[in-house]
Amino acid sequence: MAKEELNDAAKTLLALRDDPVLFVRTCLQAEPQKWQRKALEGIVKNNRLSVRSGHAVGKTTFLSWTILWWLCTHYPCKIAATANSASQLEQILWPEIQKWYQMMPQGFQDELEFRSDKITLKNAPDSFCVSRTSRRENPEALQGFHSPNMLFIIDEASGIPDVIFEVAQGAMSTLGAKTIMVGNPNRATGYFYDSFGRNIESWNTMTVSCLDADTVDPQYVEDMKNQYGEDSNVYRVRVLGLPPETDDNAIMGRTLVESAIDREVEPTNVMPVWGVDIARMGGDRCALCKRKGNVITEPIKHWGGKDLMETVGIIMAEYDSVPYKDRPSEILVDSIGLGAGVVDRLVELDMPARGINVAESSSMSDRYMRLRDELWFKCREWLEQKDCAIPDQDELVMELTAVQYEILSSGKFKVESKDQMKKRGMRSPDVADALMLTFAGLAVRASGSGAGYKFNQKIDYGNNEWIV
């Protein structure tokens, strides 16, 4: 290469080094949105940038541009990219980087080598971008990096445990190091939240609403408004890019639940359905809920300390104890773990039982992670219609209002697990989960189940004082 050409290349790189917007326009053939331009310019002027936003405003694109710009214009350099899950890095961020890499001039492309978790300058292996998942059990994810040009990328920052930031504070505060945090503000606590509050003097901050983003379909905003209301936490987080009013992301508020207690409603003329939650651990209980359309017909029964066959006997005793017209069309049993044995035995006895695996994919996979998540939100919708009635049962009210949810980076809703509840000091919501199972819906019964049950057969069920 001629001396003049080398000088021109050096001048170009120098210009791009100080102007990431120009880099995006000239090297990636893209035009940033207004907020993306402001964020790119902010990186040059400030060492710390924190961006909270609504859903699908272009955060991942912005991070991809930033990573490629830094790799191509800063030498030597290191970039540590982290998120709260491997899928966020492997399935979302990395493919987005590759997409824009392919838009670059060939000369730039030739300088980079892609791997599944690392991008390296071919002629300078000490300059790279590496992905690291930030988990509570791995607090050192952002430690051990040193470079004159150090860049920390923290994606979906609201989901990163605070212990990660506590451990990484030293590395992030190294002279000259830059840190970029982006994410939906799903929590009203934590390091990311504090960058807009008590620590705001240390951060250049931006809030990006879906209302101001070119990439968001207006119909999405309208759907969120109609479904959840403009005053809801869901609308605040997913549309406005603002944190929830409180960090108590309860699926159902106490007012909503208590308003349904012993409500005077006209019962719907449908066949009853029962839901049965099976105990998984010593402290858990089995629970049986009887729902007839818009009414839970009696307090939800629960019991503990019984083996599987005793539990089968309890369910059958309940079945025989109700009039023929009040018997369920289906008994929907949580079939995970021990529940599968209960389902199998009930089916063998020609009971109308069907196993429900609440861990399987939701029928609305674009909105919910698992079937369990969908069932909890179906129950909330049922209560919101204000044409239903639940019994005056303190335990049911407590469990319905205690369970929380989160909004994942994919935009899907995820209900906290029983294990997560126990870590918060809450007991397993066995009674509420029995109600949830009644929303699994009717389906074609497994070959002949329920068809031949002898309603008048005599079975010794023993003492039924276990029923609460």
* Structure confidence at residue 349 as a pLDDT band (50, 70, 90): very high
Q: Return the pLDDT at 319.
A: 95
pLDDT in tens, 103-162: 998 888 988 999 888 999 988 889 999 999 887 666 777 777 888 999 999 999 988 888
Residue 53 has pLDDT above 80, yes or no: yes
At residue 444 the predicted structure's pLDDT band, cuts being 50, 70 and 90, is very low
The DSSP code for 104 is: S
Kindly tell me the burial class for residue 264, based on how many C-beta atoms sit within 10 Å of its own C-beta (0-12, 13-18, 19 or more): exposed
Segment 419-437, tens digit of pLDDT:
888 777 677 899 999 999 9
- Residue-by-residue DSSP string for 225-292: HHHH-TTSHHHIIIII----SSS--BSS-HHHHHTTBT-------S--EEEEEPP-STT--EEEEEEE
pTM over 0.75: no
Instruction: Tell me the average pLDDT across 73-86.
Output: 91
Q: Would you place residue 63 in the very low, low, confident or very high pLDDT band (cuts 50, 70, 90)?
A: very high
What is the C-alpha R_g of the chain? 28
> Do the Cβ atoms of 55 and 217 come closer than 8 Å?
no
* Residue ranges of the chain assigned to CATH 3.40.50.300: 17-240
Confidence (pLDDT) at 169 = 81
Distance, in Å, from the CA atom of 407 to the CA atom of 457, rounded to the nearest integer, reads 50
Tell me yes or no: is domain 17-240 CATH 3.60.10.10.
Answer: no
Q: Confidence class of residue 407 from pLDDT cuts 50, 70 and 90?
A: confident
Query: Which CATH number is associated with domain 254-440?
Result: 3.30.420.240
d(CA 198, CA 201): 8
pLDDT tens string 200-227? 999 999 999 999 999 999 999 998 888 7
* Residue extent(s) of CATH 3.30.420.240 domains in the chain: 254-440
The stretch 402-417 carries a mean pLDDT of 85
Tell me what pLDDT residue 144 has: 79
Residue 72: band (very low, low, confident or very high) from pLDDT cuts 50, 70, 90: very high
Helices 20-27, 59-73: axis angle to 10 degrees equals 100
pLDDT of 104? 93
* Least confident window among 185-189, 263-267, 374-378: 185-189
Give the containing element (helix H, strand E) for 432: helix 430-437
